[in-house]
Amino acid sequence: MKTYKLGVVGDPISHSLSPKIHNLFAKRANIKIEYEPYHVLTSNLDSFIRDFFDDGGSGLNVTLPHKIDCLNSVDDFSPIVKKIGAANTLTRLRDTNQIFADSTDGMGLIKGLMEANINEIKSDILILGAGGAAQSIIHDLQTRAPRVIAIANRTKEKVKPVVSRFPSIGL
């Protein structure tokens, strides 16, 4: 059975529950993984990502503050990453050996809402924060056409670029 080398990269990283969650899931699914947290400074991010995948890494989750800067280290992006300018998942594509960036926060939220029988289409939605995860969530929520999507953030300046990416959202 193949062992997959996986991890989460961030600065700081000690707060992340990803290793515990992913290792528990892998054990229950009978998948062999090595999922580790990696504390990486922004100045070392590009070399870390390239070395991780060159050393046999299969995938990385990306957390603060690297969701935007990680895009400098990849070869290709999903359409959502092209739109929002941030990623939370990096993988090595088997057929091309390229590093691929994606954003899965929005689809994860939609799936969770559906499993909980929460119909966001008839809802008014408030999103706290305007970072990469929020933008991924907004993108996927807009495809479901809820009544209202509102964003609350500590600084109005950080909300303005989000509104420009998603014009139907107001400040």
CATH number at residue 133: 3.40.50.720
Last residue of a domain, one of 83, 102, 121: 102
**What pLDDT sits at residue 103?**
94
Which residues carry out catalysis? Answer: 67
- Please give the residue range of the domain that contains residue 59: 3-102
**What pLDDT sits at residue 120?**
63
**What pLDDT sits at residue 46?**
97
Look up residue 50 and give its amino acid. Answer: R
Tell whether 26 and 50 lie within a shared domain. Answer: yes
Tell whether 87 and 137 lie within a shared domain. Answer: no
Split into its structural domains, the chain has a count of: 2
**What pLDDT sits at residue 22?**
95
Is this prediction's pTM over 0.85?
no
**What pLDDT sits at residue 140?**
85
**Sheet containing 32-39: order of strands:** 32-39, 3-10, 57-62, 89-92, 99-102, 76-77
Tell whether 94 and 121 lie within a shared domain. Answer: no
| 76 belongs to a structural domain | yes
- Residue 57 neighbours by CB under 8 Å, 6+ apart: 5, 6, 7, 92
**Paired tokens of 109:** 């939220």
Query: For residue 35, which of 10, 61, 53 has the smallest C-alpha distance?
Result: 61
| 18 belongs to a structural domain | yes
Tell whether 58 and 19 lie within a shared domain. Answer: yes
Run means of pLDDT, 10 residues per run, the chain, 171 residues: 95 95 95 97 98 97 94 95 92 93 91 83 84 84 84 89 73 47
